[in-house]
Amino acid sequence: MRFLPLLTLLAHAAVPFVATGQTPEPVQSVRMGLRVFPDTVTIGQPFRLTVRAVVQPGARISMPEGPDTTADDSGIRPVELRGPRSLSMTADTAVAFYSLVAWDTGAQQLRMPDIVVTIDGSERRASLAGASIFVKSVLPADTTLRVPRPARAAILLPTFNWWPWIAALAVALLALLLWFVWRSLRNRPPLPVDPYLRAQQAFARIEKLELIRQGRSEEYVEAVVDVARVYLAARIPGVRRSNTTAELLDAMQSRASVAGDLTPVLETADLVKFARGTVSDDEAVRGGAIARAAVEAVESAHKAETLEKSKARAA
């Protein structure tokens, strides 16, 4: 019990905690301690530095933000800060926590800047130069005992001959193009045929059938009259193939002479078509001649009118 006052005095004067084997240099009016845990790490393994400082009342203390990360001569940054600094202040006691990581083997100084204490306008510094960490290597003691794996065989990518497929595709495209051309040519509308030429071709086909010689004079008259109707509908405005005889004659007022010649032939064709009338061979021959003559007359008048219009446009 008689040593109790002495122990109490020593407890107030002692540093709260220091790292094993590390004793920082004391500074007047500042009591401090630091701890590195764990004290031995491997490359890239995070470790923690705890710094605790007690100052006299009224003093202001400034803890460093982190270690000096300036690279050494080899270009390596031995120790770096991992994450932000954690700082707490209770009364006149400041505690700072640093999460660090080392990138080189061996004993590494943490290179922490000094603690700055301001008392009555004057600055005092407490050095943290004694803080260090030992970084052990993960390699075996004798690196020659490490046998590397054998090199893998080169990866051979399979080759594929695309040229036959490209040629086949080209042939298919060419065939498709030819099919489109053939289809467009097949489905194109036929070229217009001159009505007079078409009428002459139709008359020639009827004559080859020799209907009169076979005793089919009625069919002959119907055929030649139908050819004349088709021609007149193409050449004379207002005339239609479906017109009745009366309507056709009214529409042919500009060709009154031709209409007068066609009248008996048209009436005979109506009797044959609608009343099953009979026609003699002579009447059939005469009707065919009249139909042909009417076509020739209308064509001559059409050519004359076309020539006059051409001259007028040229003039």
Mean pLDDT, all residues of the chain: 80
Two tokens, residue 198: 């078409």
CB atoms inside a 10 Å sphere around CB 170: 10
String of DSSP letters for 247-301: HHHHHTGGGHHHHHHHHHHHHHHHHHHHH-----HHHHHHHHHHHHHHHHHHHHH
Query: 49 Cβ partners below 8 Å, 6+ apart?
Result: 34, 35, 36, 97, 98, 100, 110, 112, 131
Band (pLDDT 50/70/90 cuts) for residue 33 is confident
Q: In whole angstroms, what is the distance from residue 291 CA to residue 77 CA?
A: 116
Band (pLDDT 50/70/90 cuts) for residue 17 is very low
pLDDT tens digits for range 122-165:
888 888 888 888 988 877 666 556 677 888 888 888 888 889 99
Place of tokens 């076979």: 214
pLDDT recorded at residue 269: 87
pLDDT recorded at residue 257: 75
pLDDT recorded at residue 142: 62
For the chain, give the percent of residues with pLDDT over 90: 9
Band (pLDDT 50/70/90 cuts) for residue 28 is low
> Averaged over 73-80, what is the pLDDT?
71
Q: In whole angstroms, what is the distance from residue 134 CA to residue 138 CA?
A: 13
pLDDT recorded at residue 167: 95
Task: With beta carbons less than 8 A apart as the criterion, state whether 116 and 123 touch.
Answer: yes
Assign 108 to helix, strand or coil: strand
pLDDT recorded at residue 306: 86
pLDDT recorded at residue 180: 92
pLDDT tens digits for range 246-279:
888 888 877 777 777 788 888 888 888 888 888 8
Is the full-model pTM beyond 0.85? no
> Averaged over 302-311, what is the pLDDT?
86
Residue 11 has pLDDT above 50, yes or no: no
